[in-house]
Amino acid sequence: MLTSIIIPVFNEEAFIKEILFKIHKIKNVKKEIIIVNDCSTDKTLQILEKECKDFYDKLITNPENMGKGYSVREGIKYANGEIILIQDADLEYNPDNYPALVKPIMDREAEVVYGSRVIEGGLRTRPKIYDSKVRLFANNFLTQLSNFLNKQNLTDCHTCYKVFLTKVLKKITLEENGFAFCPEVTAKISKLGIKIKEVPIDYFGRTHEEGKKIVFMDGIKAIFAIIKYNMFKKI
């Protein structure tokens, strides 16, 4: 089965070449790589066009900075694979985990798989998800609120690594442009009656000083999105 790897990218000049090289080295997953440049203002686009052409199959550039959710939707339009995997453009998540992430779908054990930063079994540079107890609490709170409303039993609903059977993902209509894509897609997949499987993953968390982009307001928006898409919005 072909896996379409969708990579939303915004101002990742320091990491984009290395993450693409890491993905390129994964040989035991049949893949196509779709990059969505979210109107980067640094040298990301130049690096992609001049130094990385052999490391991706499709490059899309948004007309303006639209956010992760919008970029994922754009990538889905061009996906040819039976499986879709979401990959951040930084080095927080390890492409070496691809075989474990797609295996439950390949084996027909699941239709949707999330990579959990909480389940024991993955490598980490820090003992928990983040070096900040506040972020750890926030992630757990959002996950438990989501679980309460959609009857899943997840440990990490805001993980980057989300893997879908393409035909399942295309059954839902995604709307969120930003990071609220995560609670939205979880809620809408749940409304299809699909149980999401989790597998442990490696995680090498960044601080804001190192380039992490999620901020406090994203957490507030996530709360509203969890309530909105679980209680009021249709698929």
pLDDT digits (tens, 9 = 90+) for 186-231: 999 999 999 999 999 999 875 555 555 566 787 888 999 999 999 9
Overall average pLDDT of the 80-86 stretch: 98
% of the chain at pLDDT higher than 70: 91
3-232 to CATH, choices 3.40.50.720, 3.90.550.10, 3.40.720.10, 1.10.10.10: 3.90.550.10
Residue 91: predicted pLDDT: 87
* Cβ(68)–Cβ(46) below 8 Å: no
For the whole model, what pTM was predicted? 0.92
Overall average pLDDT of the 129-148 stretch: 80
Check residues 155 and 233 and name the one with the higher pLDDT.
155
